[in-house]
Structure 1
Amino acid sequence: MAAFFSRIEMLHMLIVFSVFLSGSGFLRGIESFGINYGQVGNNLQPPEKVLDLLQSLKVSKARIYDTNPQILTAFANSSIQLIVTVENGMLGVLMDPQAALQWVSTRIRPYFPATRITGIAVGNEVFTGDDTTLMTYLVPAMVSIHGALVQVGLDQHIQVSTPNSLAVLSESYPPSAGSFRSELAGIMPQFLQFLSSTKAPFWINAYPYFAYKDDPTRISLDYVLFNPNSGMIDPYTKLHYDNMLYAQVDAVIFAVARMGFGGLEVRVSETGWPSKGDPDEVGATLENAAIYNRNLLRRQLGNQGTPLRPNMRLEVYLFALFNEDLKPGPTSERNYGLYQPDGTMAYNVGLSALSSTSSTSSTSVSLTSSATQVAKMGYQNLVYWMFVYLLAVQTLMGRPF
């Protein structure tokens, strides 16, 4: 009998722990949300002020586009998890393992762990650039950098990957048709194999804005802005999509799976909406930017997953923290920021309110659908584990001891 109760107690502890894990999403807040901190501006705040801004917004993740020592120093002993970047021009040099070790030893090791560097983005949108030689540098450079992290004992703390443009796909609609461009057939398996062996994510820069700008008569603005809409149903999977971002992410997941790497996590390294554009940049308005980013933040607060992976929260990095007034290209390129370079607000998406919402706040009322979904999942998990518990008890009581 003592052995029986010992087993019951152990089973009880296991079930309670499982229920706790299944409900832990309530405590995560917006840990699945980060922001891109670009520096192509002539009036930017010093890194110490930027850190204060991020902390006031309760943002815990950021990505920079270099290894700026001023930022790495300023962010030391803070709560910010930081992804740093190897510039495209460095890839050819860092293919050499000794050069990669030197780079890691001077650009990463001196700042870690005081500065919480969690990822290294090796290049940016290399697979969709015009430099085919640069493409051949990418995977060897990633292998060398990861090898250097192993040598200095940081490989378990820092992931190595690269952000990709959505243009790596030849097909993205419907999501289940997602597939990579044929010209990447040789290099993509090498890249995916590296991610799989190092347990790193596939990063994608996904901008529904571009799809809407290119075809505003056929693409619903509400669909791309996360507003209420009828959405679309994938004819093959029968999954329902009420926004384009999730459809784009699932298209990438299908493309990765077609290459034999269905277990890889896909994360969004960039997404956003410009608040201003040229006359031919349809939809680039302050109102649309505020709506897109506000609705996205609400989804992140609810720790939502995509229809294909509803129980895996989607990690998203918003582009961008600042308008960068020195960026080349169309007007939209300089107007993705939540803030002006001097730190004044470009428009208010209510980020600090969203991250500190309480059950009695007005913000929480607007989050009802997301919160209800999370609560429903938690309740279903609880019922499931109670059923398993009772079934196990019944089985144990029927067995001799």
Structure 2
Amino acid sequence: MVVNAFTGTYGINYGRIADNLPPPESVATLLKAARIKNIRIYDADNAVLRAFKGSGIEVIVGLGNEFLRDISVNEDRAVQWVKLNVEPFLPGKLVKGIAVGNEILGGADMELWEVLVPAVKNVYNALDQLRLADKVEVSSPHSEAVFATTFPPSAGEFKESVLPYMRPLLQFFSQIGTPFYINAYPFLAYKSDPEHIDLNYALFQTNPGIYDAKTKLHYYNMFEAQIDAAYAALEKIGFDKMEVIVSETGWASKGDENEAGANLRNAMIYNRNLRKRLLKKKGTPYRPKMVAKAYVFALFNENLKPGPTSERNFGLFKADGSVSYNIGFTGLVPSSAFSVLGSIKV
């Protein structure tokens, strides 16, 4: 039986690298008010899961990169981890999936590339042993660094260096019915090449679009082009039936001077248009019957995240629970952002 860990089309990533966030109980209230049912967290914090219990929220928990080496060589450790972090929250459909690592392939730590497939298999075997394999999906999200090329979408192709690790992973995922999860950020693409990328194309605004001569398809937003590039890459290595789900996408509302496009207006436009697009429950130009699904990054601004200013400013909500900008959600407390941005037409 294939597990469907994402029952809607619009989810959100709840990152917590911050020291000023509301307690998980308040977050559960916020999510219910916003009618957001599908959540991803980057660990399996039991306090968070307890707070969400009985709320109707469905969570993909994360097995952090730091655990992969140990789990890959020790199935008993995988069983322990599942018993501690997943089993107590079933039945009740709270934990719907386990993301094993995040952005491993294509990343800097080549040792992790080696241990990813054994870790994934041990987590699945642990679920199987505990008779949970038909209730909890096992996945592993990738960054755009796994691709050699993504433009035009039909040219989408995995890097040669990644293939020896990607192929066995996808073979296993195709056996157990797991989709291909990709972290796809038009913001990062635009930021890296603002001279050549039309901002309106990145933001789902009116633009001439791009034409893919091979497929004879037009693309009017980068989000769909990125998804279809992943479909093309999968097809080239024999996985043309695998679904693509966007595990992270978002737009920073603030950035450093050299971070093109990182501002409040663009973040609001991207996230508002993304939500509208996902709620249409439509496919992409290349896969019109495969409904596009995505988890937005992120629920909150995270003030302790390292890196450029943008990294700390992806939140749809501020730490106090008010909205960062208005895309139709109600915050826990009123926000001045409503009055400031309410007049901007999108």
Using the size of structure 2 for normalisation, the TM-score is 0.92
Give 1:64's aligned residue: 41
Does 1:53 pair with 2:30? yes
Does 1:284 pair with 2:262? yes
What SS class does the counterpart of residue 142 from structure 2 fall into? Answer: strand
Does 1:82 pair with 2:59? yes
Contact 1:97 1:148 survives alignment (8 Å) = yes
What SS class does the counterpart of residue 233 from structure 1 fall into? Answer: strand
Unmatched runs of 5 consecutive residues or more in structure 2: 1-6, 332-344
Contact 2:106 2:162 survives alignment (8 Å) = no
Give 1:155's aligned residue: 133
One of 50, 59, 77 as aligned partner of 1:99? 77
1:185 deviation in Å? 2.0
1:309 deviation in Å? 1.1
Does 1:199 pair with 2:180? no
Does 1:296 pair with 2:249? no
1:344 deviation in Å? 2.0
Give 1:358's aligned residue: none
Contact 1:73 1:115 survives alignment (8 Å) = no
Q: Distance in 2 between matches of 1:277 and 1:317?
A: 22
Q: Distance in 2 between matches of 1:74 and 1:206?
A: 29
1:351 deviation in Å? 3.6
Residue identity over aligned pairs, in percent, reads 48
Query: How do 1:223-372 and structure 2 match up within 5 A?
Result: 223-351=201-329
Does 1:138 pair with 2:106? no
Q: Which runs of 4+ in 1 moved over 2 A?
A: none
Q: Distance in 2 between matches of 1:352 and 1:234?
A: 39
1:352 deviation in Å? 5.9
Larger CA deviation: 213-222 vs 47-56: 213-222
Does 1:189 pair with 2:151? no
Contact 1:72 1:115 survives alignment (8 Å) = no
Contact 2:323 2:330 survives alignment (8 Å) = no
1:240 deviation in Å? 1.1
CA RMSD of aligned residues (A): 1.5
Counterpart amino acid of residue 25 in structure 2: E
Counterpart amino acid of residue 92 in structure 1: R
Give 1:38's aligned residue: 15
Contact 1:178 1:254 survives alignment (8 Å) = yes
Using the size of structure 1 for normalisation, the TM-score is 0.79
Give 1:208's aligned residue: 186
Contact 2:107 2:145 survives alignment (8 Å) = no
Per-residue Cα deviation, 1:172-224 (whole angstroms, up to 9, x for no partner):
00111111001012111101101100100110000011111111121101100
Q: Distance in 2 between matches of 1:342 and 1:114?
A: 29
Per-residue Cα deviation, 1:300-357 (whole angstroms, up to 9, x for no partner):
111121111112211100000000000000000000001112212211111469xxxx
1:115 deviation in Å? 5.2
Q: Distance in 2 between matches of 1:277 and 1:88?
A: 27
1:298 deviation in Å? 0.3
Higher helix share: 1
Give 1:389's aligned residue: none
Q: Distance in 1 between matches of 2:87 and 2:213?
A: 49
Bigger Rg over Cα: 1
Q: Distance in 1 between matches of 2:108 and 2:164?
A: 17
Per-residue Cα deviation, 1:248-292 (whole angstroms, up to 9, x for no partner):
111111111111111111100000000000000010010000000
- The number of aligned residues is 326
